[in-house]
Amino acid sequence: MLGTASDIELRNGQTYRWHHFSLDLPDRFKARSPKSVPELEAQYRDSKNVLRRSLDELTLESVETVLELIDESSLYRGDEWRNPLKLFAALQARYTGVPEDLRDNFCWLESAKAGPVISRIRNHSIGQLLISISEGTDVMDAVNVFEGTIMAPENYKRLKRQRGPSPSQVRRAEKIVTDLGLLESLPRRFATIDDLTINDVLFVDRDVKVDITTGVLSVFDELAQDAVTVNAEKFENVPGISIGEFIDNLFQYETVEVLFEQRLAGNLVSLIAPQNKDAKSLFKWTNNAGWAYRDNLTDSAMKRRVAQKGGNVNGVARFSIQWNVRSDNINDFDAHCKGPRQLHVYYRQMQDARTGINLDVDMFASHTNYHTVAVENIVFPNRSGLTEGKYTFYVHNFNHRGGRSGFTAEIEVNGTIYEFSYDRELKHGERVDVASLYYTRKDGFTLNEILPAKKSQQAIWGMTTQQWQRVSLVCFSPNYWVNETGIGNRHVFFMLADARSDETPNGFYNEFLPNGLVEHKHVFDTLGSRMCVAPSDDQLSGVGFSTTRRNYAIVRLDGKQIVKVVF
């Protein structure tokens, strides 16, 4: 209430009621918040300022480009940004017609109407992609950085902070969880087949018996494992089919196997369920199941660093080097590749137009950034332009600046990572040959080690890479199970019979929470890690693929037909 509606005065034995100008403030003007008035005012002011900067700096062309990528399903987690981007594009179109002296007023009004997501779109993950494209960065380069770092599963909506939530934040979150009856939903475990109904399953191995009366799958029998190492390269030209077409025809097959390539280590995923099966849903969707991808996206820290610098780690072959890991070597090392027909890719000739071989990360440690781990990356994006012959990889010390240690290198080819280590100091101008790669159209790539190599073809989650793994069932992510409306991006999970996660993933993640709980994300981020899932032999784990991110899997059907399933 603004003012006082009425009051009573007693005078000369008489009672008088006085009525005053007053206003019963409508709910839309009320803020029920523990924040102070200046803090609330600052929120609106910041939203206005960020919206104006977004409208001034982000081009309409960049927004239209990103929308096209989303419509083509070519952008990881792009679906969730389709509507906000369309609304922002409409604002941009109107903004261009507003006179300069009225644009600040326009932003005050529209930021209050649009809300924080659209008003502050520049500060969100998608905003970083829009900024890069608006500044003239090549679209595919911008997308690679966006998908490889900003939207990497270990970064997306994960809080970067040193301290936990404050006691007052915890108390407020505890109250809302209690009021919503969600306390029993917090403890989590690995999901088992009993957590799915037959209607949630797209494919089940014929060896697995199903109780039709209950719609629940029985326990899997032990399945045999083909232990022969498989060269994925020989399947380069097998027919490709879309994931939609693949799912439509799954009913025809009795067995499905996935070639578990080294590159799929980051696709390992587990279904997570509540310990109390009758607990209310904690998520945006109605069932109470979630999922967790493998935290350590690859076995290679070097590969991860290269991706974080915008390097392509998904070509048919890759040569990467790193040094200064212990902050003891600011020498300027360079990665080189020499090949047939006078090919030479290095810092002065970063791309070969004929073959597409590309040095896409070129960096070094320096006195001003002494603790930087330096990496360089040369990638063979495809085989279409390659000349048959020998390609030699080596490291050259362009400038000796006092570093006494050497370098490590990786060559990834045929689904295997070869690790090389050179521990000695390189003199100024010294060259160290690492390995040679022989290429023929008939046999593909053959590696010849010069430095001794260690192969990274280890057992991960109980499975060995470069082997066929039996699929026990195929299903969508829980947000697309039966009776769900499909909130967020769709994932397709191939649950593998021998996959056993040895990790303790978070029980849930902030991106799963409904909007009413997002304001308590600091608390739930901590709760998710506290409610981590204990290891279990009885679990549904395998490899997962987002339908909005470019990828593929080599699949064997009924033990004979090989197809490339494209996402």
Domain ranges of the chain: 28-148, 167-295+463-566, 301-457
d(CA 265, CA 152) in angstroms, rounded, equals 14
In this prediction, residue 228 carries a pLDDT of 61
pLDDT of 496 above 90: yes
pLDDT of 95 above 90: yes
Residue 234 pLDDT grade (very low, low, confident, very high; cuts 50, 70, 90):
confident
In this prediction, residue 380 carries a pLDDT of 96
In this prediction, residue 17 carries a pLDDT of 93
224 compared with 295, residue with greater pLDDT: 295
In this prediction, residue 212 carries a pLDDT of 32
Q: What is the mean pLDDT of residues 233-245?
A: 85
In this prediction, residue 356 carries a pLDDT of 93
pLDDT of 518 above 90: no
In this prediction, residue 489 carries a pLDDT of 84
Q: What is the mean pLDDT of residues 389-405?
A: 94
Does an H or E element contain 188, and which? strand 188-190
Alpha helices in 420-504 (DSSP H): none
Q: Which residue has the tokens 């097959």?
A: 253
Residue 51 pLDDT grade (very low, low, confident, very high; cuts 50, 70, 90):
very high
In this prediction, residue 370 carries a pLDDT of 63
Q: Which two tokens stand for residue 134?
A: 């608006």
Report how far Cα 234 is from the mean position of its chain's Cα atoms.
Answer: 29
d(CA 447, CA 337) in angstroms, rounded, equals 14
427 compared with 261, residue with greater pLDDT: 427
Query: Which of 354-363, 426-435, 529-538 has the lowest average pLDDT?
Result: 529-538
Q: What is the mean pLDDT of residues 506-517?
A: 81
pLDDT of 169 above 90: no
Alpha helices in 227-380 (DSSP H): 243-248, 301-308
In this prediction, residue 371 carries a pLDDT of 66
Q: Is 158 exposed, middle or buried (0-12, 13-18, 19+ CB in 10 A)?
A: middle
Residue 221 pLDDT grade (very low, low, confident, very high; cuts 50, 70, 90):
very low
d(CA 455, CA 447) in angstroms, rounded, equals 12
Bridge-based pairing of strands 240-242 and 561-566 is: parallel
Q: What is the mean pLDDT of the chain?
A: 84
In this prediction, residue 366 carries a pLDDT of 53
pLDDT of 166 above 50: yes
**pLDDT per residue as tens digits for the range 75-89:** 777 778 888 999 999
328 compared with 218, residue with greater pLDDT: 328
Does an H or E element contain 74, and which? none
Which CATH number does the domain 301-457 belong to among 2.60.60.30, 1.25.60.10, 1.10.1760.20, 1.25.40.10?
A: 2.60.60.30
Specify the amino acid at residue 261: E
- DSSP3 helix / strand / coil % (the chain, rounded to 5): 30, 30, 40
Q: What is the mean pLDDT of residues 173-195?
A: 86
27 compared with 242, residue with greater pLDDT: 242
Q: What is the mean pLDDT of residues 135-143?
A: 79
Rounded percentage of the chain residues whose pLDDT exceeds 90: 42
**pLDDT per residue as tens digits for the range 54-71:** 999 999 888 988 888 888
In this prediction, residue 486 carries a pLDDT of 80
pTM for this model (two decimals): 0.54
**pLDDT per residue as tens digits for the range 258-296:** 999 877 887 899 999 999 988 999 898 999 999 998 853
In this prediction, residue 75 carries a pLDDT of 78
Residue 300 pLDDT grade (very low, low, confident, very high; cuts 50, 70, 90):
low
Q: What is the mean pLDDT of residues 514-539?
A: 78
Rounded percentage of the chain residues whose pLDDT exceeds 70: 88
pLDDT of 502 above 70: yes
d(CA 41, CA 111) in angstroms, rounded, equals 13
In this prediction, residue 311 carries a pLDDT of 87
Residue 209 pLDDT grade (very low, low, confident, very high; cuts 50, 70, 90):
very low
In this prediction, residue 147 carries a pLDDT of 65
Asked whether 201 and 476 are in contact (CB, 8 A), the reply is no
Q: What is the mean pLDDT of residues 529-554?
A: 87
Angle between helix 60-71 and 125-134 (nearest 10): 120
Alpha helices in 180-313 (DSSP H): 243-248, 301-308
Q: What is the mean pLDDT of residues 23-39?
A: 81
